Amino acid sequence: MTEGHRVPVAVIGSGNIGTDLMIKVMRKSKHLSMGAMVGIDPDSDGLARARRLGVPATSEGVEGLVKLPNFRDIRIAFDATSAGAHAHHNAVLQKYGVQVIDLTPAAIGPYVIPVVNLEEHLDSPNINMVTCGGQATIPMVYAVSRMAKVHYAEIVASIASKSAGPGTRANIDEFTETTSRAIVKLGGAARGKAIIILNPAEPPLIMRDTVYCLAEQGADEAAIRKSIDEMVAQVASYVPGYRLKQRVQFEKLPADRPMNIPGIGKRHGLKVVVFLEVEGAGHYLPNYAGNLDIMTSAALATAEQLVVSKFALAA
């Protein structure tokens, strides 16, 4: 890659997530440039903002993107629409060899958490960013499971109701299903469960996440705490507002006082509880919308690594 060269990208979806991602690309990216903003509402703020910033924009969806004069230069497309729309977008983009980063719960491509498994999927034409809750909590489950066997992991993501737009609300079922599967597949738990809470409090509260893990008996608490602290620092390197809300909690559950886990049965061991807070950077979205900020930040970090690893020679 030559000095100063940037790879043009498209953002599909001119709502809150897509607009925030566009601004992050323009303000923070080392290797990307905005090639196009794509929407279906000609009056959306995202498209209007893109045009004011000099970004090519279309309100004709992915078909309009293909018609843009600079489409042939676009190497990566972020899809920030909905799980239902993503299948069509992906089918169109794959015909042209465009790398797709999916911010919906569609999960056509492999689940990716940048600090957990991005290196394994650099050659995948479609990468799925799981969910906001997944990006925030699965690194913690993984941090525990790399130190000890995890029988069960449950995450509770609490987000401000005001930060949940139409896309988020339409994909609640997909959120819980996708996140639960990813807790097992990426986090390393034998069984996983995900819960999302839309909190209507005023003023809106910053995103909070609670992670419960039941690890094997005799697991090393100090090693687990150290693993979690290291993982928090890694996530915070691309999501500055990501932090532990309080010290990691441990509780030993002896064999004569086991925990009854639905679908698994009674298990004893070490209960690990992690309390997280995710504050947004405030680029386009309010600071309380950490749930959206962590998705756009993770997607940006993924694209940056793809450019360095996958497109370096071609660029």
Enumerate the active-site residues.
132
Q: What b/e readout covers 9-43, taking b as 16+ CB neighbours within 10 angstroms?
A: bbbbbbbbbbbbbbbbbbeebebbebbbbbbbeee
Element (H, E) at 134: helix 132-145
Distance (Å) of CA 206 to CA 158, 231, 260, 277, 292: 9, 21, 32, 7, 11
Give me the DSSP letters along 168-194. HHHTHHHHHHHHHHHHHHTT-BSSEEE
Distance (Å) of CA 312 to CA 1, 5, 93: 5, 10, 21
Nearest to 171 by CA among 202, 215, 220, 128: 128
Q: Tokens 């479609």 label which residue?
A: 126
